[in-house]
Amino acid sequence: MQSLAMGRMSQKAISYYVSATDDSITKEENGNVYRSIQLRPRVLVDCTRCDLSTTVLGHRLAAPVFVSPAALATLAHEDGERGIAGACSKYKTLQIISKNAGQPLKEIIQAGPDAVFGWQLYILKDIAETKRELALLKEVPQVSFLVLTVDAPFPGKREAEVRFKNAEARAKASKTASEAPPQAWGTESNLTWRKTLAWLQTQTELPIILKGIQTYEDAYAATLFPSVKGIILSNHGGRALDTVSPPIQVLMEIRKFCPQVLDRIDVLIDGGIKRGTSVAKALALGAKAVGIGRAPLFGLAVGGQAGVERTLEILIDETTTALRLLGAQCVSDLGPRHVNTSALDAQLYDGPAALEEVEREVLEEVDVAQLNL
């Protein structure tokens, strides 16, 4: 699907969708790391029945594959986010709608009557704009939860995108590369755990998922706030900080240092998923569902909504096959016994557990009335 999409997308779309920070080490490792995890199938198990359903914050998904937020899907195809919603509706799964979607929220929702929806939130420097967005969500009851992106207080250096913009500027003879303005970023950079979550609770009653968790410490910190019902282990598809740990290694860190997190909140994961076997590995290690970001965009570029449907169909079929061959009749049957992660043990963080220190860092008292947001 990606190969076909490369021949159909504009150079602008390619530079935006494919680019990653610096040397793209994190982007590549997100997917490559799954090769180091071996599956451990159990045989002589009745695998006639295979149920892929799971739940996220109490909402049933027919499949454990969801669509992560990705901006401007209309760069790939005019069906855009509506096409993604239609595909998610067909497979009764989750779409997290990007804050920077290319189509109006209500139109996207209408295109997916059987989908589950989350809304990606950035808290902006223009706090009035963020308040307007949150007020709008009160008029859209189909949005079941907020997904607060926390891993991008400042943009990464995405060179392919910068080169395209500079070339575009030169082509328009308006600015040279050296005269191009510095990269602007509208996200508020002074957000902190207690201050931000306390303020957000004054603006919405929706449950919150934090997207962009990259260490076990922050996974544990999320469990200290009752309004946080889930986290997404993610590094922005390698578009924020390069050379960070792949999300699946962060999941392994959680199992090592604070496994109680998996019982307290829903843990989701995205980044580098290209095969159903990778989905099965993440589920076996404790993820409730697995997200894909670029893949639906490539599907869109190839065939609009039908291309996204085919993308989901491939991954869901492969995941079903993986579960059957592992000897699992349903997602809850999967567990650590189904994977061998020993090849990655040496790459895990080996410092001391610091859960008490985490609590001290994030639980300082804050007077909501005094929040400077």
Any known ligand binding at 234?
Answer: yes
Question: Is 158 marked as binding a ligand?
Answer: yes
Is there a contact between 30 and 235 (Cβ–Cβ < 8 Å)? yes
Asked whether residue 120 is marked as a ligand-binding residue, the answer is yes
Q: How far is CA 41 from the centre of its chain?
A: 28
Known binding residue 328? Answer is no
282 is in an annotated binding site: no
Cβ density class 241-264: b for 16+ within 10 Å, e for less: bbebbbbbbbbbbbbebbeebbeb
**Residue recorded with tokens 């019902």:** 229
Name the residue among 193, 209, 207 with its Cα closest to residue 147.
Answer: 209
Look at the block and give the residue holding tokens 């997917």: 31
DSSP state of 134: H
Q: Is 98 known to sit in a ligand binding site?
A: yes
Q: Is 338 a catalytic residue?
A: no
Burial 27-48 (b: 16+ CB within 10 A, else e): bebbbebbeebeeeeeeeeebe
- Detail the DSSP E strand segments found in 16-142: 38-39, 54-56, 59-61, 65-67, 94-97, 116-121
Instruction: Give every CB contact of residue 25 below 8 A, 6+ residues apart in sequence.
Output: 238, 242, 243
Any known ligand binding at 70?
Answer: yes
Any binding-site annotation on 189?
no
59, 77, 236, 338: which is the annotated catalytic residue? 236
**How many Å separate Cα 360 from the centre of its chain?**
28
SS3 247: helix
Cα 299 to the center of its chain, rounded Å: 17
What distance in Å separates the CA atoms of residue 19 and residue 348, rounded to the nearest whole number?
Answer: 27
Could you give the angle at which helices 193-201 and 355-362 cross, rounded to 10 degrees?
60
Cα–Cα distance measured from residue 116 to residue 136, given in angstroms and rounded to the nearest whole number? 18
Q: Is 82 annotated as a binding residue?
A: no
- Alpha carbon of residue 59 to chain centroid: 17
Residue in 94, 9, 26, 38 with CA at minimum distance from that of residue 250: 26
279 alpha-carbon distance from chain centroid: 14
- Is 310 annotated to bind ligand? no
Q: Is 293 annotated as a binding residue?
A: yes
Active site residues: 236
Binding residues for glyoxylate, as ranges, are 16, 122, 239
Binding residues, as ranges, are 16, 69-71, 98, 120, 122, 149, 158, 211, 234, 236, 239, 293-294
Binding residues for FMN, as ranges, are 69-71, 98, 120, 149, 158, 211, 234, 236, 293-294
